[in-house]
Amino acid sequence: MKKKKKSKGKEKEKGKRKEKFVSMPVINDHAAGIDIGSRSHFAAVGQDLSDVREFGVYESDLRECASWLKSHGITTVAMESTGSYWQNMYDVLIESGFEVLLVNGRQTKNRDKTDVKDCRWIQFLHKVGLLTSSFLPDLETEELRTLYRHRDFLIKQMSRYICKIQKCLRLMNFRLDVVLNDVTGKSGQAIIKAILSGEHDPQKLASLADWRVRTSKEEIARALSYNGRTDYMYELSDCFDLYQSYVQKMDACDKKIEELMRAHIVKLNRPQTTPPPLEKPKKLNKNSPKIPVQELSWQWNQEVDLMSIKGVSHSTALTFCSEVGTSIHKFRTAKAFTSWLCLSPNNRISGGKILSSHVYKGSNRLSVALRHAADSIGNQKDAPLYPFFQRILHRKGRCAAIIATARKLAVIIWNMVTKKVKYMPYDTTKIESQIREKQIKKINKLMAVFDIKAFEINFASP
């Protein structure tokens, strides 16, 4: 029998290997971690299984959790932001006197995904000081944010019913979407109301169009020929009624927002003065807030007129008041503010080289509003930021230009609100002269590299 050859290589060490642990300094001695759930919350005051306890989601359960944390000497608590389930727990803990950190889920990722392990992992990270809290506004701003987001929801629902109204009209052969830019405008609503009341004569329906409509009455009449479908007529009636109800709800929400802002302005002792008139009034559309946004924003931000910035509309100013409000001082620098808005480059550096600088994708509502404002600046040649937008546009494309211009707007707004200064437009002549100097230096370097003399260059036109 042939003996088996021994396998080459290193022999395995016998016995158990000693595990090595990396010691980390404790930053928060009395720290706890809570894993938020829809039906129960898991709280951990230590790393042992006996230090973990499950609580319900009712008011009595939340109070019991706060008293249990106090019995263990806890002073600071970290919890993961999960939907809207954290808000009731957050309010109870703040009322009980705890320091609460609302942490983004990206900071608390864990491979072993169980509720018990998650709360212990959050407690450990908070204890060694590796967690940072998310931005949370004050109570006044939070109330305004709730109403303004509800208003945005109403606008989205209105757009859904507008699409259904267009579909019903199209299937009944009423092609209002071809002859009118907006079927829910003044002319469109007048024609739809007449159709629902039983009027189907194309000439009479066309006569209801406003005189400002550029399409001729004859062409409008040609687009309105009923095919007799009663099922779509019933659907159109329901959709139009629901659209009208959402319009009324949005108007009522605007009044509620104005009442709330005026009450908070009085409560916060803001100066109740009127802003200076704008050189050129801002345009309003049918979804613009039907309240004096410039006056309210001026008083809310302590006599800082955000509407004086070219490109900032009524909706943009109101979005800033509802999303940030009076808590912008929590951002110590403009860079921190733009980073929170996901408008700053996300540089990935390795070996001293930038591998990627893509802007982080986020769903911040103020960031979206600033991007819309930046997009409108790209179409306004008289805007001070228009040359900057065009330079980025020719180099990197429109998407990059929108993000860069939105970041410029964010820095301008942060400086205006925190330093209480007026809007100072960019000096385009100074910027253009700086760009010209850079181009001259670049040309001189190229001439030195290729040993080109000035007299050798033919400046004569062909």
End residue of a domain, out of 264, 292, 326: 264
Q: What's the Cα-to-Cα distance from 439 to each of 430, 444, 451, rounded to whole Å?
A: 14, 9, 18
CATH value at residue 108:
3.30.420.140
CA–CA separation, 45 vs 68, rounded Å? 10
The predicted pLDDT at position 110 comes to: 73
pLDDT score for 83: 80
Q: Do 119 and 54 lie in a common domain?
A: yes
- Where in the sequence is the domain holding 93, given as residue range(s)? 31-127
Which H or E run includes 61? helix 59-71
Residue with tokens 């819309």: 372
If asked whether residues 339 and 312 sit together in one domain, one would say: yes
DSSP lists the bridge partners of residue 41 as 55
d(CA 115, CA 117): 6
pLDDT in tens, the chain (462 residues): 444 444 444 444 444 444 444 578 888 889 999 999 889 999 999 888 889 999 999 999 999 999 999 999 999 999 987 788 898 999 999 999 999 999 987 788 776 678 888 899 999 999 998 888 888 888 888 899 999 999 999 999 999 999 999 999 999 999 998 999 889 999 999 999 999 999 999 999 999 998 989 889 999 999 998 998 999 999 999 999 999 999 999 999 999 999 999 999 999 888 888 998 888 888 888 888 999 999 999 999 988 999 999 889 999 999 999 999 888 988 999 999 998 998 887 777 777 777 677 777 667 899 999 999 999 999 988 888 898 899 899 988 999 899 999 999 999 999 999 998 888 877 667 777 877 888 888 888 888 888 887 777 765 444
**Domain membership flag for residue 25:** no
Clarify whether residues 260 and 327 are in a common domain. no
pLDDT at site 12: 44
Residue 62 to residues 41, 213, 313: CA-CA distances in angstroms? Answer: 9, 60, 42
SS3 content of the chain, % helix, strand, coil (to 5): 50, 5, 40
Q: Which helix (H) or strand (E) holds 338?
A: helix 334-340
User: Token pair of 104, please?
Assistant: 């983004």
Count CB atoms within 10 A of the CB of residue 350: 8
Domain boundary among 207, 237, 264: 264
24 is a domain residue: no
On whether both 434 and 408 belong to a single domain, the answer is no
Let me know if residue 338 belongs to a domain: yes
Specify whether 315 is located in the same domain as 407: yes
Three-state secondary structure call for residue 143 = helix
Residue 413 lies in a domain: yes
Same domain for 201 and 160: yes
Residues 285 and 398 placed together within one structural domain of the fold = yes
Helix axes 230-267, 293-300, angle to 10 degrees: 30
Residues 26 and 125 sit within 8 Å (Cβ to Cβ): no
> Domain tally for the chain?
4
**Together in a domain, 373 and 396:** yes
> Which of 382, 392, 390 lies closest to 425, judged by CA?
382
Collapsing DSSP to helix, strand or coil, 353 comes out as strand
> Are 81 and 146 in a shared domain?
no
Structure token digits, residue 93? 């803990």
pLDDT of 440: 87
Residues 205 and 121 in one domain: no
Q: Identify the CA nearest to 235 among candidates 164, 156, 160.
A: 164
What's the predicted TM-score (pTM) here? 0.82
Q: Tell me: do 298 and 378 sit in the same domain.
A: yes
> Does residue 425 belong to any structural domain of this protein?
no
What is the reported pLDDT for 286?
85
Q: What is the DSSP letter of 86?
A: H
For residue 370, give both structure tokens.
């600033």
Distance in angstroms (rounded) separating the CA atoms of residues 102 and 81 = 6
Pair 289, 415 in one domain: yes
Residue 237 lies in a domain: yes
Task: Decide if 19 is inside a domain.
Answer: no
Query: Residue with structure tokens 């019933």?
Result: 234
Nearest to 226 by CA among 242, 245, 202: 202
Among the candidates 127, 150, 166, a domain finishes at: 127
Whether residue 271 lies inside any domain: the answer is no
